[in-house]
């Protein structure tokens, strides 16, 4: 996949293209339909399919207090778009200057001038240009003037509700990673560098891989989860704890810790310090709890690992490649 981060990087004469514009946060099932529709249109009319997105949520500039946490990092977003078959992604910097441009400039300089758009796909709530003055109706009017067609995506619904990034965030905030996975069409994932922790798990007989605080992806609610841990292409069953270890005092920050098992679900202890570990959440085992003492904590962890093992054995048979 070709990635352009500025208009100057787009080669002269690019296109003609079919373009879709949006935040694409999370790349959920609604986005999947958008991409599939875009790619089919491009193949049918011999156009270059291109996704136009931004390096941050526009609300982070326009209304920071109202801006939600991102479901995926920019790196994750680009990887997911590529997996869906996108040929070209334009990821522009959304800053104050960009937000102040007139709707006409957005259309003439980007859609027409840089991308040579012949078809532009947008959702029903699409806005563009200074103050959100650019509406779908205005875009259609400009398209008639500048020679491109505006088309609309149909929404994807599950259980009578439109699939959206907001809904995914709600589910992750509740710890319902299984339901969030239904909306995403894949496991919700967090990844980061493995760093040294307080070594409490090792002392208890359950050594864990701790993710750095600066991880990618939205971390779900505190609790214990069944997950697949992926490092260097190798997949491990894992029991993941998220929270501040309420059994112990003095743990200020939320920790994401993964206890890895081997392919036979026996304990393993690979040296992962400094590597990038991705955790793909399958289901929640329980919420976070404080135990009365170390012995009770160890018994609780053993029970968690047994439940995780049972969940992942079943999951490996039903969704081995997800």
Residues 150 and 76 in one domain: yes
Residue 172 is assigned to a structural domain of this protein: no
pLDDT (0 to 100) of residue 322: 58
Look at residues 137, 158, 179 and tell me which one is the last residue of a structural domain. Answer: 158
- Where residue 86 sits, what CATH number does that domain have? 3.40.50.620
Give yes or no for residue 248 having a pLDDT over 60: no
**Mean pLDDT to the nearest integer, 290-313:** 87
pLDDT (0 to 100) of residue 203: 61
- 86-137 tens-digit pLDDT: 999 999 999 999 999 999 999 999 999 999 999 999 987 889 999 889 999 9
Residues 217 and 121 in one domain: no
Give yes or no for residue 247 having a pLDDT over 90: no
Identify the CA nearest to 213 among candidates 224, 197, 199, 228.
Answer: 197
* More confident call, 201 vs 239: 239
Residues 78 and 216 in one domain: no
User: What's the number of domains the chain is made of?
Assistant: 2
Residues 54 and 121 in one domain: yes
Residues 194 and 153 in one domain: no
Give yes or no for residue 241 having a pLDDT over 60: yes
Residue 87 is assigned to a structural domain of this protein: yes
Residue 150 is assigned to a structural domain of this protein: yes
Residues 149 and 275 in one domain: no
Residue 169 is assigned to a structural domain of this protein: no
Residue 175 is assigned to a structural domain of this protein: no
**Mean pLDDT to the nearest integer, 280-292:** 88
Residues 33 and 148 in one domain: yes
**Mean pLDDT to the nearest integer, 1-18:** 96
Full residue range of the structural domain in which residue 57 is found: 2-158
Residues 276 and 201 in one domain: yes
Residues 119 and 34 in one domain: yes
Residue 262 is assigned to a structural domain of this protein: yes
Helices in the chain by DSSP H: which ranges? 29-45, 59-62, 74-83, 96-99, 103-105, 136-146, 165-174, 177-184, 200-204, 294-318
- Where residue 313 sits, what CATH number does that domain have? 2.40.30.30
Give yes or no for residue 171 having a pLDDT over 60: yes
The whole-angstrom distance between residue 243's C-alpha and the CA centroid of its chain comes to 21
Residues 222 and 78 in one domain: no
User: Distances in Å between the alpha carbon of 218 and those of 8, 105, 125?
Assistant: 32, 34, 24
Look at residues 141, 158, 175 and tell me which one is the last residue of a structural domain. Answer: 158
Residues 192 and 141 in one domain: no
Look at residues 109, 138, 158 and tell me which one is the last residue of a structural domain. Answer: 158
Identify the CA nearest to 92 among candidates 24, 45, 178, 138.
Answer: 24
- 38-91 tens-digit pLDDT: 999 999 999 999 999 999 999 999 999 999 999 999 999 999 999 999 999 999
Residue 109 dihedral angles phi and psi, to the nearest 5°: -85, -35
Residue 217 is assigned to a structural domain of this protein: yes
pLDDT (0 to 100) of residue 295: 80
- Assign 224 a pLDDT band (cuts: 50, 70, 90): very high
Residues 154 and 29 in one domain: yes
Give yes or no for residue 252 having a pLDDT over 60: no
């Amino acid at each position: 996949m070709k990635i352009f981060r500025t208009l100057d990087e787009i080669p002269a004469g690019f296109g003609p293209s079919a373009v879709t514009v949006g935040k694409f946060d999370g790349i959920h099932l609604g986005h999947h339909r958008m991409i599939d529709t875009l790619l089919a249109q491009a193949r049918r009319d011999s156009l270059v399919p291109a996704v136009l997105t931004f390096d941050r949520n526009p609300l982070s500039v326009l209304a920071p207090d109202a801006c939600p946490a991102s479901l995926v990092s920019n790196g994750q977003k680009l990887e997911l778009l590529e997996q869906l078959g996108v040929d070209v992604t334009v990821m522009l910097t959304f800053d104050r200057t960009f937000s102040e441009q007139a709707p006409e400039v957005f259309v003439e300089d980007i859609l027409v001038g840089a991308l040579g758009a012949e078809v532009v796909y947008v959702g029903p709530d699409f806005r563009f240009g200074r103050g959100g003055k650019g509406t779908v109706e205005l875009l259609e009017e400009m398209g008639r003037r500048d020679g491109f067609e505006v088309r609309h995506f149909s929404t994807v619904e599950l259980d009578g509700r439109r699939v959206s990034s907001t809904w995914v965030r709600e589910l992750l905030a509740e710890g319902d990673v299984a339901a969030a996975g239904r909306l995403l069409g894949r496991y919700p994932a967090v990844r980061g560098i493995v760093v040294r922790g307080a070594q409490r798990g090792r002392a208890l007989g359950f050594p864990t891989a701790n993710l750095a605080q600066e991880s990618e992806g939205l971390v779900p609610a505190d609790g214990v989860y069944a997950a697949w841990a992926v490092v260097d292409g190798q997949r491990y069953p894992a029991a993941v704890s998220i929270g501040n270890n309420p059994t112990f005092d003095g743990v200020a920050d939320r920790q994401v810790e993964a206890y890895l098992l081997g392919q036979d679900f026996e304990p393993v202890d690979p040296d992962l310090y400094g590597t990038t570990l991705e955790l793909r959440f399958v289901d929640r085992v329980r919420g976070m709890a404080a135990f009365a003492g170390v012995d009770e904590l160890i018994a609780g962890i053993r029970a968690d690992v047994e439940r995780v093992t049972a969940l992942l054995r079943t999951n490996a048979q039903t969704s081995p490649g997800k």
